Amino acid sequence: MKRRAFITLLGTAAAAWPLVARAQQMRRIGVLVNIAENDPQAPARLAAIRAGLREHGWSNNIQLDVVFSAADASRLRAHAAQLLALKPDVIFAGNTSALAAVHHETRSVPVVFAQVEDPVANGFVASLSRPGGNVTGFANFEDAIPTKWIELIKEFAPGLARVAFIYDPANPAGARNLRTMSTAGWSIGIEVSGASVGNVAAIDQAIGSIAQSHAAGLVVNGGAATATHRDRIIALAERYRLPAIYPYRYFITSGGLACYGVNTIDLYRRAMSYVDRILKGEKPADLPVQQPTRFEFLINLKAAKAIGLDVSPTLLARADEVIE
C-alpha cells in the first residue's frame, strides 16, 4: 500500500502536548473504511470517529491509522493485514465487507464494527448478547427494514407493479434482504427481482433492464459498491424516471428520491464508546452487540419533481426531513 493511504489523524503533534499528555501511554487504533478517500462521506465518518473518541477523553494519546479501500474487494484482506502489521490495540471496521476482511485476518486483536448487517448470521459473533470472540460493535439493520422499503415505494407510486432490488455482492445480507422484500412485495402486488451489482456495468444493466418494464421502481441495498457508485445509480433512476428508495441519508443528499434507514454517522460516533471500553481493559466477548436506535426517513422533493412524481401530504408529514 502507498504510504499516503494511511492518514494519522491524532497523536502526531507530540512537541505541542502538555507534559501530562506525554506521560500517558500512546494507544493505536487501526481503521478500515471501505469507501474512497475522496468520497464526500469520508470526512464525515472520520469526524464522527474523532468526536466519539473525544467524548471519552481520548485525544492526544491516540493515534489513528486509517485506510480507505474504495470498494475494492480484491484488496480488502491485504489492507486489513497491513493495518494489523502496525500492531494496533483495536481495529475499527466501518462496514460488513471491511469487517469480513479483518475477521479473516485475526481472531485475537479486538475489533469494533459499525454499519454491519446481522453479525450473527454472517458468523462474526456467536450471539448479540454474548459475542464470544474478538469482535463486537454496532449493527445497522433490523429485519423489518426491507419490508418497510417495499411499503414505502408503493406509497410513493401506488400503481407500481415491479421493483428491482440491487445489492452489493460483497454484502452478505443482500440475498437475504431480497427474499424478505420478495415476500413483502408479493403481499401487496409487487414483483421483486434482484440483481447483484459490483461495478458500474452491472448497475447499468440492472437499472436499464427494469426501466423496460411498465410501472417499475428501484430499491437499493447498502454496501460499498452501491455507496461508491451512488451518483451513477441516482442519475439512472432520474433518467428512466424510476421512483427509488435508498438505505441512507447520503443517497438523498446526493440527489436520490427517498431513504429509510439507520443514521450511519451516529453509529460511527457511538462505536467509539466500545473502543474506549476495550482500551480500558474490557473484552469484546463481553460487550453485547448494540442494535440501531435512530432511523431516518428523508424525502427529496427536487428529485421527485425531476421524475414527475407528486409526493402525498401524508408521506411529507411522516418524513424526518424534506429536502427542497
List the CATH number of the domain containing 101: 3.40.50.2300
Same domain, yes or no: 286 and 301: no
Same domain, yes or no: 284 and 155: no
pLDDT at 121: 85
CB-based contact 31:9 (threshold 8 Å): no
Measure the CA–CA gap between 145 and 165, rounded to whole angstroms.
13
167 forms bridges with which residues in the sheet?
196
Same domain, yes or no: 78 and 209: no
* Range(s) of the domain holding residue 159: 145-262+296-323
Measure the CA–CA gap between 314 and 309, rounded to whole angstroms.
14
Same domain, yes or no: 159 and 114: no
Same domain, yes or no: 19 and 151: no
**How would you classify the pairing of strands 216-220 and 191-196?**
unpaired
Three-class SS state of 231: helix
Same domain, yes or no: 67 and 93: yes
Place of cell 464525515: 44
Instruction: Enter the C-alpha cell of residue 57.
Output: 477523553
Question: Model-level pTM?
Answer: 0.85
Instruction: Count CA atoms within 13 Å of residue 206 on its CB side.
Output: 26
pLDDT at 71: 66
Same domain, yes or no: 156 and 76: no
* Counted domains in the chain: 2
- The tens place of each residue's pLDDT in the chain, 324 residues long, gives 443 344 444 333 333 333 333 345 789 999 999 888 888 889 999 999 999 999 999 988 999 999 988 767 778 899 999 999 999 999 999 988 899 999 999 999 999 999 998 899 889 999 999 999 999 999 987 788 999 999 999 999 999 999 999 998 877 788 889 999 999 999 999 999 999 999 999 999 999 999 998 889 999 998 888 999 999 999 999 999 999 999 999 999 999 999 999 998 999 999 999 999 999 999 999 999 999 888 899 999 999 999 999 999 999 999 999 998
Name the burial class of residue 114, with classes exposed (0-12), middle (13-18) and buried (19+) by CB atoms within 10 angstroms of its CB. Answer: buried
Same domain, yes or no: 278 and 209: no
Measure the CA–CA gap between 274 and 43, rounded to whole angstroms.
21
Angle value at C-alpha 169, between 164 and 175, nearest 5 degrees: 60
Same domain, yes or no: 57 and 150: no
pLDDT at 142: 79
pLDDT at 14: 32
Same domain, yes or no: 124 and 40: yes
Reading phi first (left if > 0) and then psi (alpha if -120 to 50, else beta), residue 309 is in beta
State phi, psi for 165 to the nearest 5 degrees.
-110, 115
Name the burial class of residue 224, with classes exposed (0-12), middle (13-18) and buried (19+) by CB atoms within 10 angstroms of its CB. Answer: buried
pLDDT at 97: 86
Strands across the sheet with 191-196, in order?
191-196, 162-167, 216-220, 244-246, 258-262, 295-300, 321-323
Same domain, yes or no: 88 and 162: no
Query: Nearest Cα to 221, choosing from 275, 284, 155, 171?
Result: 171
